[in-house]
Amino acid sequence: MDVASVLINTTKKFHSKPAIIFRDQPISFLALCDNVFKLANGLLKSGIKKSDKAAIYLPNCPEYVYSYLALFSLGVTVVPLDYMLTEDELASCLSHCQAKLLIAKEKEALSLENLKKRVPGLENIIVLEESKNNFKLFQDVLNSARPLPVEIEINDRDPALIMYTSGTTGSPKGILLNYKHLDGSPKAMEYFVDLTDKDVKISALPLSHSAGLIYIQNCICYGITLVLMERFQPLEFLKNIQKYKVTCFHLVPSMYYAILHLKEFESFDLSSLRWLVVFGAPSDPHSLRRFQQYCPQAHLLNGWGLTETCPPNTVIPLGSKKIESVGKPAPWVEIRIVGEEDNELPQGQVGEIVISGWVVMEGYYQDPKTTSEVIKNGWFHTGDLGRFDQEGFLYIVGRKKDMIKVSGEIVYSFEVE
């Protein structure tokens, strides 16, 4: 994806329209575009260049969006880091990815001065607020340059992202994605749902996660308005849906469980909602149906995908009632169910879900051993267990680590239960 060109073209169409609403303050597409290119040029003046590693350690805020888009415009490899990481975890990730720049918001539990000393090669730290350590101020870098489009030649295979995930197997791994991979999620949203520039989406998911990045991509690709929350608060989430007439969003199961437990839930007007997608963890169909009772006009969609494969890779088709499934695969991916010897299993049989296609990551950064263990002959082994039904709908039933051998036969812990 040529992020700079996409942003410029969308701004030409929707220049005065709100691109982001944060803390009730609208930011137009024109203001977004200006801030992105001012920051990009300011970073160039600071010595940042194509293929450098630049980390972002911020809570959800407009500056996070500016940073993402400015760095992508420069062809930089962006490393978004969870704002809940400790100093030790942060130092480990920054050292591993060889970050040259860190854009951060200071907090009491962490010393950026110590961090700079601990991470070899970390040349620049830019902070959101005044710092006693004389780090560069974000606004000063942004205001040091004019909002001129940057012209950097970026190729599809250039490294775009290193996203750290602990997954379910312990130590964090750096998922390396290229600039072509940035097309994955917008292309999926175009295929699976009828997203248009009339839509208003709300996000309380961390922008450091792939699910949060999807919202930014939707904003610049389709001209939607994004209502951005710093963090998920169920009551505020519902208030914002009602106030801004939100039409769609995606969320993880723990979020809608929290909403369902609010005693005020039934009092909110959710009639503006057209659809919502649930993914990120197995969903309880009963809870999903209960949620839909309060917004019967909306399509409730289940989906599946991993950061390693530019999610979503499957989503229930609009109008489908098969809420227990996670839908059908996108046409540009191939998904199979395989057994212990990587043999493809027949329809209805449970096995590991493997996926191939251009959406599969380049690999785990600086970890060829783990990469070779999960990508075999072009197929990414997800560790998820699933099955296909007769109509081609995929069902997630557990994790491969839940497999148990009993008398030489493979059984699953959920079957034993």
- Of residues 95 and 408, the one with the higher pLDDT is 95
Q: Which two three-digit tokens encode residue 206?
A: 């961390």
Q: What percent of the chain has pLDDT over 70?
A: 94
Residue 306 domain-assigned (yes or no): yes
Give the end-to-end CA distance of the chain in Å, rounded to a whole number: 46
Q: Find out whether 229 and 62 touch, Cβ atoms under 8 Å.
A: no
- Does a cis peptide bond (omega within 30 degrees of 0) precede residue 312? yes
d(CA 289, CA 291): 5
Residue 206 domain-assigned (yes or no): no
- Tens-place pLDDT, residues 93-135: 999 999 999 999 998 878 999 999 999 999 999 999 887 778 9
- pTM over 0.85? The answer is yes
- Tens-place pLDDT, residues 376-398: 999 999 999 999 999 999 999 99
Q: Please spell the DSSP secondary structure of 334-383, one letter per residue.
A: EEEEE-TTSPBPPTT--EEEEEESTTS-SEETT-HHHHHHHEETTEEEEE
Residues 6+ apart with CB under 8 A from 114: 87
Number of domains in the chain: 2
- Residues 245, 392, single domain; the answer is yes
- Examine the fold and report which residue of 143, 163, 178 is the final residue of a domain before the chain moves on: 178
Question: What domain range is 303 assigned to?
Answer: 232-416
- Residues 254, 174, single domain; the answer is no
Helix, coil or strand: residue 248: strand
Q: pLDDT confidence of 166, banded at 50, 70, 90?
A: low
Q: What is the pLDDT of residue 168?
A: 44
Residue 224 domain-assigned (yes or no): no
- Examine the fold and report which residue of 178, 208, 240 is the final residue of a domain before the chain moves on: 178
Q: Which two three-digit tokens encode residue 303?
A: 């989906």
